[in-house]
Amino acid sequence: MTDRYCVFGHPVGHSKSPRIHTAFAEQFGDDIAYEAIEAPLDGFVDAWRDFIAHGGKGANVTVPFKEDAFRLADVLSSRAQRAGAVNTLVLGKQGDIYGDTTDGVGLVRDLQAHAAPLEGARILILGAGGAVRGVIEPLLAAQPAALMIANRTPGKARQLAEDFADLGETTGGGFDEIVGAFDLVINGTSASLGGDLPPLPDDLFADAALAYDMMYGNEPTVFLRWAAERGARTVDGLGMLIEQAAESYFLWRNHRPETAPIRELLRGEM
């Protein structure tokens, strides 16, 4: 019998998740069907219930429903509790709902695949929204020397830093408070897709620094172009998408896909 999975979002028609998970299933010969479901903005819970009533086993959850999924789950992973959001739902055998977030581990695995400086590094994250909140814990677990969160609204960045201060050296502030060079700079905002760039200092990058944008597209974002002009290595977020999907697949199926072939596949299709 075919096991059903999906991704919920609004909008969600652009999602690459069906392509990714279908490719994962082919690696193992798993009999699954994976689809994208655009739930009404006020109808996520009903959409989930309808999905499982028709044989659904688990789901990915993207914007704007990650907090709804957090509230829906009966049991939460520790990393989901920290993030305050869920991007993976697993239906238990007794009908209980397990919620997890795989975004952070997906980011770290992609960074490791690109030999990013993590342990002992100075890391800067741009933005203080939900996307950033979901990745701070695994970044701090890599034991950087310091992690700074910079945001247009300084108070939001400071609060986020305070929320995670028990896990490592973490500070927050405005863009005008960025001082010194960093080994890794992560853009966690969506601004660069619209051609916008925060007011960043020209001497932002240390030698051999990596600039990482959690967004991706057919062309480099404005942030990655700006970083490349200043000597940084650049990586977009396609690998993060694939790695977080692999972690979700493992939660559902208890085997972990090979991600390298999927990276090549999707790059070739972009």
Catalytic positions: 66
Is residue 242 within 8 Å of residue 19, measured between CB atoms?
no
- Residue recorded with tokens 């490791």: 112
Cβ neighbours for 175, distance < 8 A, ≥ 6 positions apart: 126, 150, 151, 152, 198, 199, 200
Binding site, annotated residues for shikimate: 15-17, 62, 87, 103, 216, 244
Give helix 260-269 / helix 238-253 axis angle, nearest 10°. 130
Query: What does the DSSP 8-state code read for residue 270?
Result: -
Helix (H) or strand (E) holding 252: helix 238-253
Residue ranges for the binding site?
15-17, 62, 87, 103, 127-131, 151-156, 214, 216, 237, 244
Strands 75-76 and 97-100: parallel
DSSP state of 194: G
Residues making up the annotated binding site for NADP(+) are 127-131, 151-156, 214, 237
